[in-house]
Structure 1
Amino acid sequence: MYLVLGIIALFTIPAEYFLFGVAGGKLIERIRSLTFKRVIHQEINWFDKPQNSSGSISARLSTDPVNVKRLVGDNLAMNVQTLATVISGFLVAIIANWKLTLIILVVIPLVGLQGYFQVKFLKGFSANAKTMFEEASQVANDAVSGIRTVASFCMEQKVIETYNKKCDEPMKQGIRSGLVGGLGYGLSFMLFYFSYALCFYVGAKLVQNDEATFTEVFRVFYALVLSTTGVARTSAIGSDTTRAKDSATSIFEILDRKSKIDSSSDEGTVLTNIRGEIELQNIVFAYPARPNAPVFRDLSILIPFGKMVALVGESGSGKSTVIALLERFYDPNSGKILFDGVELQSLQVRWLRQQIGLVAQEPVLFNETIRANIAYGKQGDVTEEEIVAVAKAANAHQFISSLPDGYNTVVGERGIQLSGGQKQRVAIARAILKDPKVLLLDEATSALDAESEHAVQEALDGLMVGRTTVVVAHRLVTIKGADIIAVIKNGTVLEKGRHEELIKRRNGAYAALANSA
């Protein structure tokens, strides 16, 4: 029978672990995809919080599903195996001699009880370690993404020390888990040997009183030994259980959270005839992270259809905040933003953002090919002809064609393989492909040299034709041709008009900015 059991085990145990491994792998994939989907659709304010930094989210996506899988993969297989062993062992023992079995069963719950206390004792430790691990991941993420800055300031040792400091708590938690797990495992085997002693002692008494035979005692002994061994073995996974519980809590916090500005939602109005006229009425706004520092106190401005409106002012006056409000990254505390006469908050978020093209001062390119980065501008399939056409319109085709791999050139992390002007032109090509009704330019040429600025400005001039355009600018020379220039100061529009009108006001805010430039 042992030979038969050995042959059966040869086939059943690998099949068991394979099937649970497949289930665990699919669970990891499902958790990561669902969590990432929820993360991507959260409002921008959610990402402003320190606990939702890029390093923290990366760590959660990496480790949380793996921790949960530990209880669904090999450990779950072991638990199922243990359950089957306990049930079959109990049945064999109860059939052999029910009196001896019931006496021995008193010990087995004690093994499970110590496992329960082990999990309770570890509660809280792993949560703190998890937070510290996420902070350490953020340090590593910042150091790698900014490695040129780290190298230029010789900050390598300082970054390493910071990272090691953040790793101290996970290390201490690992030591605690090891001590508690080892103590629990030792207690399990102590109780395991106590059950040996109890079985032999009570069995001897029963044999002596002719209430059991020698064979029955050993049958009960071996059946219950298998059961207690399984229970003792499962008690060693207490730390895994605690980590899995904390990770599951972290995952469901994200999955259950409903975004306040949800781009995945189909709720909201969709306009059929779009002009692209925007009006901000009495806007009061402060960033949620800084509620006591209002950016706008009473901002009102009309951005007519097809016109170019430039926003100027000192640093920190709120020019870029207007862009964030128009993209509906945030909602104002009070006041209204109207898009073609319809309040922005009543429009479908995804549709609204499809009507708006954004070119920022520091464009974000993904670590993919130039073709893929341009193709992000349009929903659905994009043809090669479309990509080449928008690249030519953005003055980018010539430099892309001169690269060894052309449109298949991988731009590197954050587009590091391209110069500032090249990145900006790829971003403009992406915006042209989107064909937006409203164009937002957030200091799109301020960080470029004269030659690159000229090429980029040419591309922008072509892109602005026939579109409502909002331009944020520090360099006033780039917005002299704007239809309306609005000077923002102290949370309101201080003055507005054309360049020629504003510059004549000797004591005006615009004239002061022009003189200081």
Structure 2
Amino acid sequence: MQKNDSVEKETSSIKEPATGMQTYFRLLTYVRPSWGYLLLSIIGYVIYAAMEPALAALLKHMVDVVSEGKITESRLVIPAAILGIFILRGIGTFLGSYFMAQVANNVVFDLRTNMFNKLVLLPSSYYHSTPTGRLLAKLTYNTEQVIGSITQAIRILLREGMTVVGLLGYMIYMNWRLTLLFLLVVPLIGLVVSYASKRFRRLSARIQNAMGGVTDVASEAIKGHEVVKIFGGSQYEIERFHKAAAENRRSQLKMEKTKALNVPIVQFILATAMAILIWFALSPSISSNMTSGDFIAFITAAGMLGKPIRQLTDVNSILQKGIAASYSIFEFLDMQEEVDKGGISIDRLKGDIEWQSMSFQYPGADKPALKNITLNLPAGKTLALVGRSGSGKSTMANLIPRFYDFGEGDIKIDGVSLADYKLTELRSNIALVNQQVVLFNGTIRDNIAYGGLNGVSDDDVVAAAQAANAWGFIQELDHGLDTMVGENGVLLSGGQRQRIAIARAILKNSPILILDEATSALDTESERAIQTALENLMVNRTTIAIAHRLSTIENADIIAVVDHGEIIEQGSHSELLAMNGAYAQLHNQQFSETSA
């Protein structure tokens, strides 16, 4: 069996990307399925970029025409050329922007679906150690940052990058000496961008963590709004949210300050380069071979470089946000899924369960939750686990469907170790009713016939609801089985939610049944009816029932008293009462409370 340290590895990423660019290149692999859209976008940006030097060339032609006195000959050609350039520029802009948006949205769709696919396969330890708000931030905020790094960043890199290449090519064609002088400022711009890149990425990661904190606080306050109101926690939650939002604001402002400084510094460097360039261009030795049109066109092309270069440096902040978000996303996607090395296929288990000197400790816990558990539950029999809260009852039950892997000893079903069964097939033979009922935002029918049960007939759903004593209240609802239950069944009472969960377990008809305080939310009348239904359901099924009220498990074949992770007593109800030990004490205490 795997040790507890292997469980801890399940929530760790496989490896850390060596550089930000490696992370970004991995992100770009998600562009591959949309290569057709990307090609159309590139064509659009090429058209757009080609129009910039075309404008400079048209300006040269206009100056030369005026200086040579050939205005009449070009009176129609020049306006037509201007219209043509801007029409082509508009077409290029549309093609580039629209199809790049197609690419970006496809990438984000693939990332989100892959992340959710990974989410449902992660081990229980990840869910228990990661706040819900942080998970939602990864699925929403982080993937939104990726849109910017794909749409805006690539658009600017392609469109403005090709514009720079086109203008520089035209400038070299006009006067290569002056162009080389202009290019001397490029290393200086590179240093500024390099410094800004590191700061942008660091701040982006901080912003994402801060946003996770914001969603954590908001998610908890929304879910626990009743507790917040009753216990006067409104001000406390307001302060928590204010603190988380303030941290996010500080990080955002630092990002904006870096971005705001980055742009004017680059602009100043470009302005200096332009001033030096014009100074040299006015030298007779350099410009002697240039016409008036050549000179104006060259200076215009150099001036036109300012905007694309500035945007290329400004895109750095967007790119770094995307890299930081991608790092977080890929770290999540690289997490190890539930370990499933079992190779034994099963159709239907008999249900004979045996704990063999089994011990278990939660990842990160200081002491074991279960110690040296030895117990045999024959197929078709009922085991009731009783004891104080936190004694390890639910942990014993939750190890059966392998929500966690235990460290020492073994648990066998039908003589085969749990680890040797295929995980999905093992769980298909187990039905579970939690103490904290889980319902999904859908209809009552959807929640009873959930997952693998979807597609069963309405007659089967009704029969399960009747067996769980739920059909009576379902019939009274306006829409019957089509009634929406709301998020986590908020539109139903606690007892109604419990009965729907029991109906779901009845419909599954599994050989192994786990009932974790299955009747805890029911009134006395409903509890009696449900208890009768459960007793009928438990016939010829291996049942593990965790109960606080001992009156509900007196007929169990085996009752085990769990205390501090150990079984201190086991036997039938009458045998344990005769022992006059821990069970008898619990029974007498509850009997006294009931009588009072």
The alignment status of 1:297 with 2:371, answered yes or no, reads yes
SS in structure 1 of the partner of residue 409 of structure 2: strand
Of 322, 329, 335, the match for 1:257: 335
Structure 2 SS opposite 1:154:
coil
1:35 aligns with 2:115: yes
Q: Structure 1 residue 294: deviation in Å?
A: 1.2
Q: CA deviation at 1:456?
A: 2.3
TM-score (ref. length: structure 2): 0.82
Letter in 2 for 1:324: N
Aligned to 2:589: 516
**In structure 2, distance between residues paired with 1:488 and 1:261:** 28
Contact 2:152 2:315 in 1 (8 A): no
Cα deviation, 1:113-160, whole Å, max 9, x if unaligned, reads 322221112332222222121122111001111112222223222212
* 1:218 is aligned to 2:296: yes
Contact 2:189-2:266 within 8 A present in 1 as well? yes
Please list every run of at least 4 consecutive aligned residues from structure 1 whose deviation after the TM superposition is greater than 3 angstroms: 206-209, 211-215
Alpha-carbon deviations, 1:378-428, whole Å to 9, x = none? 355233222222212222112111101111111112111111221111101
Is residue 25 of structure 1 aligned with residue 105 of structure 2?
yes
Residue aligned with 2:473, SS: helix
The equivalent residue for 2:69 is: none
Report how far residue 109 of structure 1 moved: 4.1
Range 101-110 or range 281-290, more displaced: 101-110
TM-superposed deviation, 1:325: 0.7
Paired residues for 1:495-506 under 5 Å: 495-506=569-580
- The amino acid that maps onto 1:2 is I
Cα pair 1:376 1:430 within 8 Å, conserved? yes
CA deviation profile, 1:339-397 (whole Å, cap 9, x unmatched): 11111012111111111000112211112111111121535523322222221222211
The question of whether the paired residues in 2 share the 8 Å contact of 1:283 and 1:298 is answered with: yes
Q: Which residue of 2 aligns with 1:131?
A: 209
Aligned to 1:367: 441
Structure 1 residues 173-188: aligned runs within 5 Å? 173-188=251-266
Aligned to 1:16: 96
Output the CA distance in 2 between the equivalents of 1:273 and 1:388. 24
- Do the aligned partners of residues 323 and 26 (structure 1) sit closer, same or farther apart at CA in structure 2, a change above 3 Å counting? same
Partner of 2:124: 44
Residue 106 of structure 1 aligns to which amino acid in structure 2? L
1:396 aligns with 2:474: no
- Answer whether contact 1:310 1:484 (CA < 8 A) is retained: yes
- SS where residue 455 of structure 2 aligns? coil
CA contact (8 A) 1:377 1:434 kept: no
Q: CA deviation at 1:172?
A: 0.7
Whole-Å separation in 2 of the counterparts to 1:227 and 1:466: 81
SS at match of 2:282: helix
Return the alpha-carbon distance in structure 1 between the equivalents of residues 276 and 533 of structure 2.
88
Q: Deviations over 1:183-234 (max 9, x none)?
A: 1000121122122212211111255672544433332222233333212112
Q: TM-score, normalised by structure 1?
A: 0.95
Cα distance, 1:116–1:383 mapped onto 2, change above 3 Å: farther
Q: In terms of mean alpha carbon deviation, does 143-152 or 25-34 score higher?
A: 143-152
Task: Give the structure 2 partner of residue 322 of structure 1.
Answer: 396
Aligned: 1:429 with 2:503: yes
CA distance in 1, matches of 2:122, 2:315: 35
Where in structure 2 are the equivalents of 1:61-210 lying within 5 Å? 61-206=139-284, 210=288
Structure 2 Cα separation of the partners of residues 209 and 63 of structure 1:
54
SS across alignment from 1:445: coil
In our comparison, the structure showing a higher alpha carbon Rg is: 2
Where does residue 357 of structure 2 map in the other structure? 282
Matched residue of 2:570: which SS? strand
How far apart, in 2, do the equivalents of 1:3 and 1:305 lie? 85
Counterpart in 2 of 1:479?
553
The answer for unaligned runs of 5 or more in structure 1 is none
2:498 corresponds to 1:420: no
Question: CA contact under 8 A between 1:207 and 1:213: conserved in structure 2?
Answer: no
Amino acid at match of 1:284: S
User: What residue is the counterpart of 1:229 in the other structure?
Assistant: 307
User: Which of the numbers 137, 140, 143 marks the counterpart of 1:59?
Assistant: 137
What are the ranges of 5 or more consecutive residues in structure 2 without an aligned counterpart? 1-80, 591-596
Amino acid paired to 1:157: Q
For 1:309, what is the secondary structure of its paired residue? strand
